[in-house]
Structure 1
Amino acid sequence: MRFQYDFFANQTTLSTASSRPIWIHATYLYNNTAIDIVTANYGTQSASIFYGHGDGSFAKPSTYPTGFDSFPLAVVSGDFNNDNQMDLAIANYGTNTVGILLGNSNGTFSKQSTLSTGPNSHPYSLAVGYLNDDTVLDIAVTNHGDQNVEVLLGNGDGTFRKQMTYSLGAASPYSVGISNFNRDNRMDLIATSNGTNNIIVLLGYGNGSFGNLILYATGSYSTISVAIGNFNRDSRLDAAVINSDTESIGILLGLDDVTFENQTKYPILGSPICVAVGDFNSDTRLDVVVTNTNGNTLSVLLGYGNGSFSNQMVYTTGSYPQSVAFGDFNSDTRLDFVVSKMFNNTVSVLLGYGNGSFANQMAYTTGSSPQSVA
């Protein structure tokens, strides 16, 4: 599929009431004709699903409770029970659990089942992938309170078993990603942390276990978000990280020995908080997009294909954007953005026109306090 240019239409806003959505996720949940969006709602302790119509608009949300005082922070999707229906996994920070909502054939979801991550563990983010080469999806969790990364291996029926936790020492982890950094066909983990000036890589053995921590300096006390891509087209994976305390995005280019070059920093004003990677101007070069929570903006940096990026282009989102996801929401072959805005309880959709402008804002409510969109 080909996506065009680096410009976007005016934004459409979806109301989430007082849900305070903090995280947002975009995927095909019910069928393969329109992309849907999911929010983790910190304020109402729930997850909301907006089913897409394929024209850039969305249905009123279907909302599923995640439990009293659960305070969900993140949501991801995958087929966890191999029934060809997409399921959801939710990081419930307040109740120290990972919640699983299994998808039904009619587009609804089952009541949440939970797996404990341990007392005071406070799970913060999730990633889904094949961690032990058995064709069953597994989950990696960052536990902010326990300062570790936890591996949950899938049983293929929608349940999971604990494999192991990996201590990050003094680091309080935020974001986690799954990729194959050393090109051995085994999935590895990467995590961002607060308080250590490092990002962390754990190389996988292919059986669900991982090696010792490998640390890479970022020069930032608070590195809070990571996205993976091949920015210089050399077959090695690179990383884009948000350095919150220095208000910058760092680009770390991968080397053959599973290390990274010293990062190149690009200033991002307005308290950057979340990063995503995609080809937003259809030139086959990866670009990055960043939400700036205090600046009420979205920054796009276009990639040159050699590991460097343009100066940021800034687009207004409205109050306190949190997370960002992307997809072709109106079926015009151009990538669009969706942003969760926690403190005004809305989700904004920014449709790509191909000329640098955004569509007029349309609002969709998620209920009180939506937290995350993925």
Structure 2
Amino acid sequence: MYSTSSYPSSVATGDFNQDSKIDLAVTNSMNYTISVLIGNGNGTFKTQRLYATCYVPQQLITQDFNGDNKLDLITISYSSDMICVHLGYGNGTFTTPPKLFPTGGSLPISLVTAKFNQDSMLDVAVANYGNNTISVLFGYGNGSFQTPPTIYSAGSGPRFIVTGDFNGDTRIDLAIVNALSNTIGVFIGNIDGTFQSQRVYPTGGVGPTQLIVVDVNQDNVQDLITTNNSGSSVSICQGVGDGTFLTCEIYPTGLSPISLANNDFNGDNKQDLVVLNNGENTISILTGQC
């Protein structure tokens, strides 16, 4: 067991000091820090080093945002509505304080990075829970991002955001779960990095929290799966391949599922699901049938 700081909320992995060993970074929401634990290469880690970051940091991602082949850290501030970037030095340390970029939204809670406009520079999209929007900020390739961001309307309470290619055109699309309207919103990407208005699909469950992209039926088309925290279920929404989805199917879980992941757990070459049930301290395994 390793110490972090107050209320760790998200973890990311990477090789921060370029020694070919995996390191860890953790956002600590209650004292506004990031813990970096350098890996020893044998499954153990050195004592954390703390970096001051933005207020109430949420999801954490590691990527190279300035093209120097060194991993950087990016998170979002739930209380100050900022994107926060710590550039890496390549020796396991990072810049502090972070570079700040306004999200243009309220209560940002989840983010993704990808190359939306096909210019080889990483961009960022953020789900803003407080004002029902997503923000898209194009990257400049030097560790900074577009201001002001481009804003798109979402459903009520967007809580989690993912990327995919839902219509097979090789362009990045976005999908979100709208926790207060019990829907999934899909934003089809255009070649210039902009997105079409969201297409809305009811989850059939209540209180969706997390969303993953997986081909559950092995038809080479991406599907969407969400946990329904208040409904004690997961919703599986099969993709058609043209950017649209079939009516979501509901599968029961334990009490108050909050997170899920997929893999082939029983070696039958079918995707299975593991679901974390926050309300009863259990996990559920749903074995794939396709």
Bin of the TM-score, shorter chain as denominator length: over 0.9
Q: CA deviation at 1:240?
A: 0.5
Gaps of 5+ in 1: 1-62, 356-374
d(CA) in 2 for partners of 1:154 and 1:328?
A: 35
Structure number with higher relative contact order (C-alpha < 8 Å, ≥ 6 residues apart) = 1
Q: Per the alignment, do residues 342 and 113 of structure 1 end up closer, same or farther by CA in structure 2, a change over 3 Å counting?
A: farther
Q: CA deviation at 1:346?
A: 3.1
Aligned AA (1:274): Q
Specify which of 248, 251, 258 is matched with residue 322 of structure 1. Answer: 258
Q: What RMSD, in angstroms, separates the aligned Cα atoms of the two structures?
A: 1.7
Q: CA deviation at 1:254?
A: 0.7
Q: Which range moves more in the overlay, 246-255 or 75-84?
A: 75-84
| Residue 64 of structure 1 pairs with residue 16 of structure 2 | no
Aligned AA (1:80): F
Contact 2:24 2:38 in 1 (8 A): yes
Which residue of the partner structure matches residue 164 of structure 2?
Answer: 229
Aligned AA (1:312): C
d(CA) in 2 for partners of 1:240 and 1:105?
A: 36
| Residue 186 of structure 1 pairs with residue 121 of structure 2 | yes
Q: Deviations over 1:283-328 (max 9, x none)?
A: 2111111011011111111111110112112222201111222233
Gaps of 5+ in 2: none
Aligned AA (1:94): M
- Secondary structure of the residue aligned to 2:24 is strand
d(CA) in 2 for partners of 1:326 and 1:111?
A: 31
Moved over 6 A (4+): none
| Residue 146 of structure 1 pairs with residue 84 of structure 2 | no
d(CA) in 1 for partners of 2:248 and 2:191?
A: 29
Percent of matched pairs sharing the same residue: 37
Q: CA deviation at 1:108?
A: 1.9
| Residue 127 of structure 1 pairs with residue 61 of structure 2 | yes
d(CA) in 2 for partners of 1:183 and 1:211?
A: 15
| Residue 302 of structure 1 pairs with residue 249 of structure 2 | no
d(CA) in 2 for partners of 1:331 and 1:135?
A: 36
Which residue of the partner structure matches residue 101 of structure 1?
Answer: 37
Contact 1:148 1:172 in 2 (8 A): no
Aligned AA (2:14): G
Q: CA deviation at 1:331?
A: 4.3
Which residue of the partner structure matches residue 173 of structure 1?
Answer: 108
Q: Per the alignment, do residues 274 and 320 of structure 1 end up closer, same or farther by CA in structure 2, a change over 3 Å counting?
A: same
Q: Per the alignment, do residues 306 and 335 of structure 1 end up closer, same or farther by CA in structure 2, a change over 3 Å counting?
A: same
Q: CA deviation at 1:169?
A: 4.2
d(CA) in 2 for partners of 1:147 and 1:112?
A: 27
d(CA) in 2 for partners of 1:331 and 1:129?
A: 32
Which residue of the partner structure matches residue 76 of structure 1?
Answer: 12
Aligned AA (1:65): S
Which residue of the partner structure matches residue 177 of structure 2?
Answer: 242
| Residue 290 of structure 1 pairs with residue 226 of structure 2 | yes
d(CA) in 2 for partners of 1:287 and 1:320?
A: 22
Q: Per the alignment, do residues 138 and 330 of structure 1 end up closer, same or farther by CA in structure 2, a change over 3 Å counting?
A: farther
Which residue of the partner structure matches residue 161 of structure 1?
Answer: 95
Number of residue-to-residue matches in the alignment? 287
Q: Per the alignment, do residues 287 and 99 of structure 1 end up closer, same or farther by CA in structure 2, a change over 3 Å counting?
A: same
Contact 1:140 1:176 in 2 (8 A): no
Q: CA deviation at 1:332?
A: 4.0
Aligned AA (1:147): D
Contact 1:227 1:275 in 2 (8 A): yes
Contact 1:150 1:166 in 2 (8 A): yes
Q: Which range moves more in the overlay, 338-347 or 231-240?
A: 338-347
The correspondence of residues 292-371 of structure 1 with structure 2, limited to 5 A, is 292-352=228-288, 354-355=289-290
Which residue of the partner structure matches residue 21 of structure 2?
Answer: 85
d(CA) in 2 for partners of 1:133 and 1:90?
A: 23
d(CA) in 1 for partners of 2:266 and 2:137?
A: 38
